[in-house]
Every structure is written in C-alpha cells, then in structure tokens.
Structure 1
Amino acid sequence: MARNPGPDASDGHPNTPSINRRSFTTTAIGGALAAAGASSARAEPEASTSPRPLPRPRMMQNAPTKPLTVAVFVYPGMVMLDLVGPQTILQILNADIHLVGETRDPVMTDLSLPVTPTCTLDECPRDLDVLFVPGGLMGSIACMKNQAMLDVLADRGAQARYVTSVCTGSLVLAAAGLLRGYQATGHWGIVEFLPLMGVTPVEARVVQDRNRLTGAGVTAGLDFGLTLAVLLRGQEAAERAQLILEYEPEPPFHKGTPALVGPERMAQMRAGRTWMDGQTREAALTAAKRLGI
C-alpha cells in the first residue's frame, strides 16, 4: 500500500513526542542561521522531498532474519481487506513487499481507497519467497483476461517458494495455470468454477497443497497469513504475530459460511449473483481453452 510520510522516529518508536509550532519555528530558524554561518563557503545539499517510510513494528527493527521477498499483484477492483490482512502479517515477519501493478499509477480498491504499486509487471522481482494475489471478483475476472499479467504470474510462480492467494485470487492463479493439478479454495461464490481450470476445489478456510496456499473469502486472509507465517518463519513467529494483532475472533453470530446460513439464504444470495457467476464461468472457460484443458 502507498505509505505516508512517517513521524520522526529517530529513536525507533513511532510515538516520539512532538514540539509545538512556536518552539519548532525558533529552533528551525536558529539552526538555519548557525548552519549558514558554519558553511558559508559551501552550498548545503537540497533537502529531499521524498516521503520517509514508516518504521517497521518495533519487534522487527533489529530482526536477525533475512527479509522475505514478497510480490503482491494489485489491480483495480481489488478488495482492500484481502490485501491488508496478509500484508500486515508479512510486514511483521520482516518482508520486503513489492506491490506489482500494470503501471505505477494508483489502482482503486473496493473501498474507493487507492493503492499505489511500487513496481510494474516488468520490474517484478524474480526470486520470490511469496507470490500473492488478493481477490475482488470483477477485478479478478479482468485479470483472468489480462495476458500480460498472466504471463508474469506464470513466470514468477514457476520459481516462487510459495504461490498464494485469498478469496477470488485463486481464479487468477488458476487462469495463469498455477493451480492446475492442485487442491485450492477461494470465496464460496467461485469455488465451483475452479475445476474448469484443472483445480480440485476444497471448501475450507485455508488449503495447502505442496507450495500452493490458498485462502477462502476476505476475512480468511488472516488465517491464511498466519498459516503462511508458520511456513516462512515457524510457529513461534506466527504466534507472536497473532498476539501483536490480538487475533482471537468472537463474532456476534455465526452466519459466515453457506453451511451455517442454510439453503434458503444461499438461494437468495445465489439469485443476486447470476450475472457475476456468468461472467466468472465465461472467463474460466476461456482460460481453460488457453491452457489446453
């Protein structure tokens, strides 16, 4: 995600006390005059206008582990929560996260909050610990038809340590041929279309098949992220991340899966998805033909 200029965190803590405007002005003017007198014979370098990155979580600032290299493919219509849940956990694990877009122009998410890619498809790193695709149905369908994106996914996924997705992101991985012959899951609304692209669907919160790791709909991104954390850094690191996030959900009611809401509610939900399901099926069949399935 695009980062805003961070606070002065020279001591490594994001909550360094601020000074008031009057004190700041006095100090700044005095410092400027002193600097001018001391360096009259040479020009001061121009101050950088680039935003300073926010500090990593304090527990990871002196992390002895080598940073993980992660590529997250971002696209218009992406569901923000699909991205930020896993991204937060990966950040805690000391990851260098590359947000990969077709261009570096901001992409609009489902919340009308833009996400700015940090690199283009051509600039995406090749030696990846994790390749990750978040979801967002209509955006995912567009990605399934985007040959440039599919080519890069297929290339990087062929050598990535882990190939992963959440929600409808599994449709995109499948369209790139990265889930053919694997078990996988996704949002309940799209799991039925995965077999069209050579995938064995599993209705589960998180599914691992060899080095493929897929999560179900949206909120499963946190469960997915913690499962991935165990694979990347071990259970102790994953448990520490869980504690930092205070993740121990207690929903006020239990109506979050097709099995829990029952057939009548699901029939109502399906009736409202007819057009979207048709678009998904068409994109999956087109991908299957391209993959020779």
Structure 2
Amino acid sequence: MATTPPALRFTTLLFPQVTQLDLTGPTQVFAGLPGAVVDLAWHRREPVPTDAGFSLLPTVAFEEAEQADVLMIPGGQGAFDTLEDPVALDFVWRQAAGARFVTSVCTGAFVLGVIGLLQGRRATTHWAVHPLLRHLGAIPVRERVVRDGELFTGGGVTSGIDFALALAAEIYGADVAQGVQLAMEYDPQPPFDAGSPGAPEADPAHVEAVMRSARHSREPLVLRAAERLTSGTEVAGAPGPSDGTARGR
C-alpha cells in the first residue's frame, strides 16, 4: 500500500524588483513535488512588482507565515535593497533557524550572507557579482549549483531550476525529481552557446562591462552589509550574526 508523503512547506521571500524567473523557476519545481505547500512571503499581502513588468501576489505576510521546511531567497535588484530592510532580514533569520534546508538563487545569496549564513561556507551567485561574496565571508565557488550541508545556492537565474531539481532529488529521491523535470519538459537546447562568461559565443567585452557596472552599483551595498556583519550589529532583534549561532544553526 502506497504511503502518502509528508507535507513539506517551501517558503520563498518575495520582494519588489525580484527577478521573476529566479522565483518562478524553482517554485514550479517545488509545486510539482508530492505534498508540497508553497508560500510566497512579504511584508503584506499586496501585489509585488517584479523586474519583468508584472506583479506577483504574496500568499502570506511575514507575521502569518508558518515555519518553512525549505527557505528560498531569489535574486534581482530587490535583493540588494533587502539588505537594508531589517524586518525582512529578521524574517529570513527566524525562518532559516528552523528550516531543514536554506537556499538561494542568483543574488539572493547576498540576503543570506548579510545575516551571517554564508560565513566560511561554499556558495555561488550570478557571475556578474560572484567575487563580492567574499565580502560576506563566503567561499565563492564557480559552479551552477553549490551545496554546503543544508545550504544550497544556485548561480544566475535559470540555474534556479537546476538547484530545485537537485534539492528535490535530495528530499524525495531521483525518480521523483526526474518526473518533475519530465513534466516541465526541462530539456534546454539554447540556440547560442553564450550562457556563461566563459562560453565560446559570450562577448568578453560585454562580460567585462556588466561586471564593472554591477560592481559600481552593488558593491557599496554589500560593503555596508559586510561592515554590519563584522561589527555584530543585530538584525531587528535577532541574535547578532557574528556570534556564531547563524553558522552553527
């Protein structure tokens, strides 16, 4: 007799100017898993604009959210704005403390980093800001999906689907993850070989220009976050990130 898989709660932080595919790609995987409950959490239940020109609707406000089994932080410009949102950071801190897995896609890694969850740990993010992870004590790894214990980080945007399938295989087994992949017809065959900085058709001058622009606009925010982390500044009443509790979990 088949057993019913236990319900697992996948909670994703939703914030203004999120890169929607960072969020919707992995969430589509999660939604296809047996017993999965998916929540999108923000300050209030009102439409949140994405960087694609349309809005998404949170399913829960922070104070309504139940404890996540899997916490996911997507990326986008809004992730850097969230570095200075103490209420959102406190929500991430509290949810991460009780989650079975803590995860990020793209620049969502910086949200985890600002509250100390990347210190001394292997992680990845979008190639344009990859070197900046070191400011938050992480060990940057140039891979599409990086696992360090209960921490999963995905690289840029589309890698979120890969990370979600890897996590699905860890929790449910490879057969279930492969079934979700098949249902999504996730079988990438891009028309160009230009999907990463070192790819044959990627323009080196464009890569350099994007990295220079990203560093100019985003490094100051990361450095301010790193200063708070180093000084042990508390995040909205949570234990100070540098006191060791974040890393030890």
TM-score (normalizing by structure 1): 0.74
The 8 Å contact of residues 154 and 177 in structure 1, kept in 2 or not, is answered as no
1:135 corresponds to 2:75: yes
Query: How many angstroms apart in 2 are the aligned matches of 1:261 and 1:151?
Result: 42
Report what 1:122 is aligned to.
63
* 1:48-127 pair list within 5 angstroms: 64-93=4-33, 94-126=35-67
Report what 1:271 is aligned to.
209
The 8 Å contact of residues 133 and 166 in structure 1, kept in 2 or not, is answered as yes
RMSD over aligned CA atoms reads 1.8
**Runs of 5+ consecutive residues of structure 1 not aligned to the other structure:** 1-61
Query: How many angstroms apart in 1 are the aligned matches of 2:215 and 2:59?
Result: 32
Query: How many angstroms apart in 2 are the aligned matches of 1:281 and 1:173?
Result: 16
* 1:252-267 pair list within 5 angstroms: 252-261=191-200, 265-267=203-205
Report what 2:100 is aligned to.
161
Q: Return the match for 1:284 from 222, 225, 230.
A: 222
State the identity %.
Answer: 37
Deviation at 1:179? 1.4
Q: Which has the larger radius of gyration?
A: 1
Deviation at 1:275? 4.4
1:174 corresponds to 2:77: no
**Runs of 5+ consecutive residues of structure 2 not aligned to the other structure:** 232-249
Deviation at 1:270? 3.1
| Higher relative contact order, structure no. (Cα contacts within 8 Å, ≥ 6 residues apart) | 2
Report what 1:190 is aligned to.
129
Q: Which letter maps to 1:73?
A: L
Report what 2:234 is aligned to.
none
Mark the CA change 1:232 to 1:150 in structure 2 (over 3 Å): closer, same or farther: same
The 8 Å contact of residues 144 and 176 in structure 1, kept in 2 or not, is answered as no
- Runs of 4+ deviating beyond 6 Å: none
Query: How many angstroms apart in 2 are the aligned matches of 1:273 and 1:257?
Result: 13
Matched residue SS, 1:86:
helix
- Over residues 205-257 of structure 1, what are the superposed CA-to-partner deviations in whole Å (9 max), with x where a residue is unaligned? 10000000011111111111110101121111101111111212112221111
* Number of equivalences: 229
Mark the CA change 1:66 to 1:191 in structure 2 (over 3 Å): closer, same or farther: same
- Over residues 102-139 of structure 1, what are the superposed CA-to-partner deviations in whole Å (9 max), with x where a residue is unaligned? 1111110111111111112222222x210001111x21
The 8 Å contact of residues 129 and 211 in structure 2, kept in 1 or not, is answered as no
Deviation at 1:269? 3.4
TM-score (normalizing by structure 2): 0.86
